[in-house]
């Protein structure tokens, strides 16, 4: 951790779940920032979070350190600011930034409330929102979130894959070092994991599009964003000199719910709808008892009280007696619903013991997205021969890297790997294979093969959690303490524009339209109608 700044960025975490805790740990371990407040409706989670990251285990929370929810924070902050304007003394300091880590469907109302409050830098966990309309609303609101100078506040999205040492090196090799020349095609795969998919997308929060969003958004907006980052964004965000993104031309997609449905249910399971009452539970690979209780490494019997066990029983670590903890977990897994259960109750609850073939899930467990780019050369600048020796002049052709190319993304549930993505990149001078730990380059020109082993800073997305947190808090610090403009901090440290955030999310919704309508979508026309067109109509 860096030396503590004299006036460190003060951070509020909204949502004390797994992502909120992950970012809080990253703030403590890799930044000059301090977590000073938490907003969380669950009293147990709020207390545990505060004791771990704010007031400690032997102290009581001070004023402004904890809130029952985000609304309570907004009300408190309005009152705090009013007391300052009224000249009151001894007003507690506020926060500089907020990490929004609530449920996906809550992102819109929280972020819009923070932008109306104004003056806060915001990091929002991915996805930005669960509908295109909400994303557009947030995009518009965030552009009006300004400071006293009229500068747009720093914003970051939880696309942590951009910030892992592995992917940062891959992008440098591809775009700056150009180790395979112009890229012609990319094939990128996200293996979700055979049981991981059932946990989150069959039994858990993200199983239904109507209550959450398509799995392409909730699971794979990371991956669509990384493809655009590699193939669309300018190579450098510093001194861009008018560089524009190389925008895609067309989007198409295929996919469906292939496996986790009633027609695939083993006949021997009979009419059972819950694992704990199923006659073939002991031999079923999707047994909830096996996954959450007896599974090596991830089950409770392996002394794991972290994910995924604490998703089923959030306070599982508070049970000192192992037998009581086990009984509590099994009791939760035994919960089920039938035809008499109100639909709203079914929708609003997770059913981690439910048969994976009898659940109410409807999101895709297999999907392919294809993105194409047409040739898009940028006019070359005048050639000033007298500057040919200057290191500050870009001599290479700026049109390079803007040729036609194709990216294919595959999200697949039935895999042994769990989120260990791998990518094949094909260029005019070579090819790259990148997995979660290595980057291997085959050079057609020299015949050489080179393998890089990027460092893995942390288990959280290969160091991406640390990287994103470090860059965002550093950007806040530079604005607060070092006189940087927010625009400079956004470009040089966050390294992602608000428009890029909107583009990668819009790409997911465009792909879903293409999949459902079985068509190839023109990206330029779609963006003009569904994003820019909405902004113009809404602001006219």
Token pair for 226: 């990384």
Residues 293, 253, single domain; the answer is no
Give the model's pLDDT for residue 244.
Answer: 83
CA distance 400 to 396: 8
3-state secondary structure of 259: coil
Residue where one domain finishes, among candidates 432, 457, 482: 457
State percent of the chain over pLDDT 90: 86
Q: Domain boundary at 457, 474, 489, which?
A: 457
Q: Please report which confidence band the pLDDT of residue 436 belongs to, taking 50, 70 and 90 as the band edges.
A: confident
| Together in a domain, 172 and 106 | no
What's residue 240's pLDDT? 52
Q: How confident is the model over 71-90, as pLDDT tens digits? A: 999 999 999 999 999 999 89
- Please indicate, yes or no, whether residues 369 and 313 belong to a single structural domain of this protein: no
pLDDT, mean of residues 449-464: 81
Helix ranges (DSSP H) in 253-319: 288-289, 309-312
Distance, CA of 24 to CA of 357 (rounded, Å)? 37
- CATH code, domain with 229: 3.30.360.10
Q: Is residue 387 assigned to a domain? A: no
Q: What is the structure's pLDDT at 412?
A: 98
pLDDT of 175 above 90 = yes
SS3 content of the chain, % helix, strand, coil (to 5): 40, 15, 45
Shared-domain flag, residues 446 and 473: no
Query: Is pLDDT of 380 > 70?
Result: no
Q: What is the pLDDT of residue 385?
A: 41
Per-residue pLDDT, averaged over 125-140, amounts to 96
Would you say residue 355 lies in a domain?
A: no
Output the pLDDT for position 233: 84
Give the pLDDT confidence score for residue 461 in this predicted structure. 63
Mean predicted lDDT score pLDDT of the chain: 92
| pLDDT score of 2 | 45
Query: Do 83 and 140 belong together in one domain?
Result: yes
The highest-confidence range among 5-9, 52-56, 242-246, 391-395, by mean pLDDT, is: 52-56
Indicate whether 101 pLDDT > 50. Answer: yes
Mark whether 436 and 520 lie in a shared domain: no
Lowest-confidence segment of 5-19, 418-432, 460-474 by average pLDDT = 460-474
The pLDDT, as a whole number, for residue 138 is 97
Is there a domain that residue 425 lies in? yes
Residue range 479-498: mean pLDDT, rounded: 95
Confidence (pLDDT) at 459: 63
**Residue 451: which H helix or E strand, with range?**
strand 449-452
Report whether pLDDT(384) > 50: no
Same domain, 226 and 368: yes
Local confidence band at 1 (pLDDT 50, 70, 90 cut-offs): very low
**The pLDDT value given to residue 6:** 79
60 and 154 both lie in a single domain: yes
* 235 and 132 together in one domain: no
Q: What pLDDT, on a 0 to 100 scale, did the predictor assign at position 537?
A: 53
Length of the chain: 540
Flag the least confident range among 42-56, 187-201, 239-253, 265-279: 239-253
- Of 122-136, 349-363, 374-388, the one with minimum mean pLDDT is 374-388
**Whose CA is closest to 488, among 152, 131, 112?**
152
- Interval 82-107 mean pLDDT: 95
What would the mean pLDDT of 369-376 be, rounded to a whole number?
95
The span from the CA of 506 to the CA of 525, in Å, is 13
- Position 394 in a domain: no
Separation CA 534–CA 504 (nearest Å): 17
**100 strand-pairing partners:** 14, 124
Q: Tell me, yes or no, whether 28 and 147 share the same domain.
A: yes
Model confidence at 394: pLDDT above 70: no
Q: Total domain count for the chain?
A: 3
Range(s) of the domain holding residue 146: 10-158+464-539
Closest by CA position to 94, among listed 102, 107, 103, 85: 85
Q: Which of 103-117, 372-386, 411-425 shows the lowest per-residue confidence on average (mean pLDDT)?
A: 372-386
pLDDT for 186 beyond 80: yes
Residues 153 and 168 in one domain: no
Q: Is the pLDDT of residue 388 over 80?
A: no
pLDDT band for position 540 (50/70/90)? very low
Q: What pLDDT, on the 0 to 100 scale, is given for residue 97?
A: 98
Closest C-alpha among 116, 235, 106, 215 to residue 174: 235
* Confidence band of 458 (pLDDT split at 50, 70, 90): low
Using an 8 Å Cβ cutoff, are 192 and 421 in contact?
no
Give the pLDDT band (50/70/90) at residue 534: confident
Looking at residues 269-292, what average pLDDT do you find? Answer: 98
């Amino acid at each position: 951790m860096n030396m503590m700044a004299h006036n460190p960025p003060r951070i509020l975490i909204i949502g004390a779940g797994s992502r909120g805790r992950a970012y809080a740990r990253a703030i403590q371990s890799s930044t000059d920032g301090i977590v000073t407040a938490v907003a969380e409706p669950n009293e147990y989670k709020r207390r545990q979070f505060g004791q771990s990251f704010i007031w400690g285990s032997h102290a009581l929370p001070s004023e402004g350190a904890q809130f029952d929810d985000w609304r309570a924070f907004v009300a408190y902050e309005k009152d705090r600011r009013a007391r300052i304007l009224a000249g009151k003394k001894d007003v507690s300091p506020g926060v500089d930034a907020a990490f929004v880590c609530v449920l996906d469907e809550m992102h819109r109302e929280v972020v819009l409330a923070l932008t109306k409050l104004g003056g806060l830098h915001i990091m929002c966990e991915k996805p930005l929102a669960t509908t295109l309309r909400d994303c557009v609303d947030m995009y518009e609101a965030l552009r009006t979130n300004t400071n006293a100078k009229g500068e747009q506040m720093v914003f970051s999205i939880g696309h942590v894959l951009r910030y892992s040492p592995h992917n940062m090196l891959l992008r440098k090799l591809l775009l700056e070092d150009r180790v395979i020349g112009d890229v012609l095609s990319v094939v990128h795969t996200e293996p979700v994991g055979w049981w991981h998919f059932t946990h989150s997308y069959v039994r858990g929060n993200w199983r239904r599009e109507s209550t959450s969003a398509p799995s392409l958004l909730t699971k794979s907006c990371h991956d669509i964003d990384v493809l655009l980052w590699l193939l669309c964004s300018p190579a450098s965000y510093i001194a861009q000199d008018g560089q524009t993104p190389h925008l895609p031309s067309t989007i198409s997609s295929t996919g469906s719910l292939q496996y986790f449905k009633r027609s695939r249910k083993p006949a021997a399971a009979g009419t059972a709808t819950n694992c704990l009452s199923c006659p073939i539970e002991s031999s079923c690979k999707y047994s909830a008892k096996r996954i959450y209780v007896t599974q090596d490494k991830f089950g409770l019997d392996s002394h794991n009280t972290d994910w995924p066990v604490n998703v089923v029983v959030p306070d599982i670590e508070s049970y000192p007696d192992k037998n009581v903890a086990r009984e509590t977990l099994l009791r939760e897994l035994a919960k089920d619903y039938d035809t008499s259960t109100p639909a709203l109750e079914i929708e609003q609850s997770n059913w981690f013991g439910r048969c994976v073939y009898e659940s109410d899930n409807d999101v895709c467990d297999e999907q392919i997205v294809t993105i194409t780019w047409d040739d898009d050369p940028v006019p070359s600048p005048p050639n000033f021969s007298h500057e040919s020796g200057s290191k500050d002049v870009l001599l290479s052709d700026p049109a390079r890297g803007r040729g036609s190319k194709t990216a294919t993304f595959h999200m697949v549930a039935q895999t042994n790997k769990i989120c260990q993505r791998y990518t094949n990149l094909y260029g005019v001078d070579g090819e790259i294979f990148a997995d979660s730990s290595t980057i291997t380059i085959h050079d057609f020109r020299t015949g050489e093969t080179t393998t890089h082993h990027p460092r893995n800073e942390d288990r959280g997305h290969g160091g991406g959690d640390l990287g994103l947190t470090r860059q965002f808090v550093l950007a806040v610090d530079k604005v607060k303490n070092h006189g940087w403009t927010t625009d400079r901090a956004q470009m040089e440290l966050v390294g992602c524009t608000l428009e890029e955030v909107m583009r990668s999310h819009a790409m997911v919704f465009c792909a879903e339209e293409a999949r459902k309508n079985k068509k190839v979508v023109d990206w330029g026309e779609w963006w003009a109608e569904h994003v820019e067109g909405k902004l113009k109509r809404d602001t006219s």
